[in-house]
Structure 1
Amino acid sequence: VKFRGIYYCPHHPQAEITAYRYDCDCRKPRPGLLKLAAWADQLDLTKSYVIGDKLIDLAAGKNVSATTALVLTGYGAEEQKKITPETTPDFIGHNLEEIARWVRLNHHLLNPIS
């Protein structure tokens, strides 16, 4: 697995610093950051994976029709208890290594050789 960039949203509707106090498209579960990454690296988000330890991460992925995976480290174990039919990830892994193996085994399903 190769990481090409790190993206984050500094905005919050209740931020102490006025310049960051607004509701933007890059704040999850909205797709702004994912779309920015897709544009920067010419990615097809429908053939991409969104991996996170919070359901809001996965909701952002679902909002761009990406394949989603919940990692049980960090907040993941607690978040798993909150899964609903609407928030069900495509895969749940105990750690990033397990999810990376799953991606490698299933990548051909999203990116078939023509």
Structure 2
Amino acid sequence: MHKAVFFDRDGVINRDHGYVGTLERFEFIPGVAEALAAIKKACYKTILVTNQSGIARGLYTVDDFDTVTEFMQGQLAMAGAAFDGVYFCPHHPNATVAKFRCDCSCRKPKPEMFLWARKEFDLDMENSVMVGDHASDLQAAQAAGVKRLVLVGEHIETELKHFPQAETFNSLPEFAMSFCRQAG
């Protein structure tokens, strides 16, 4: 079994400009590539789990998401930091695009994306970690059996009200520095 660090995307990996579905709106948070590379060197799988309701809302398409993902993965690969797995949920219960309108089991705070990753990568969920910027990220991970739950980013103060047991770091690079010291 492998250990993993799961990550939300918008607000953790890239700046959250709201519905980031095009390359023009995608901007890495400084230090993320180096942080991911360090986590991978500590022998953890890196798994992205992201809600993409902008697809359901008709703001961008699955192809647009794939284009952004290919760009992100290409940039990260140059630093030895590409994600081992990328999972996304295009659904929303109030979607304007009919084929994505549903109350699915993959939209966080539900755990289905984590369970897909567990099966694909034979993951030890109890010894894995979730890094997100909203309580729903941590709720989904906890429901999938992940024990270490970390909040980063701009919303820590408000999200801690919903998930007070979370560890907190200002950013993914700050978390990675602490994490890799402990893991090493």
Shorter-chain TM band: 0.7 to 0.9
Match of 2:174 in 1: 98
Match of 1:54 in 2: 134
Structure 2 length normalisation: TM-score? 0.51
CA deviations over 1:63-86 (Å, ceiling 9, x no partner): 122111000x24334323x245xx
Match of 2:108 in 1: 28
Give the share of equivalent positions with the same residue, in percent: 33
| Runs of 4+ more than 6 Å apart | none
Task: State the Cα distance separating 1:102 from its structure 2 match.
Answer: 3.0
- Where in structure 2 are there 5+ consecutive unaligned residues? 1-38, 41-82
Structure 1 length normalisation: TM-score? 0.78
SS at match of 1:22: coil
Task: State the Cα distance separating 1:11 from its structure 2 match.
Answer: 0.6
- Where in structure 1 are there 5+ consecutive unaligned residues? 109-114
Match of 2:151 in 1: 70
Q: Does structure 1 residue 40 correspond to structure 2 residue 116?
A: no
Q: 1:32 to 1:19 in 2, by over 3 A?
A: same
| Aligned residue-pair number | 103
Q: CA RMSD in A?
A: 1.9
Q: Which amino acid is the alignment partner of residue 98 of structure 1?
A: E
Q: 2:156·2:168 contact (CA, 8 Å) conserved in 1? A: no
Q: Which has the higher contact order (CA 8 A, sep 6+)?
A: 2
SS at match of 2:87: coil
Output the CA distance in 2 between the equivalents of 1:10 and 1:38: 20
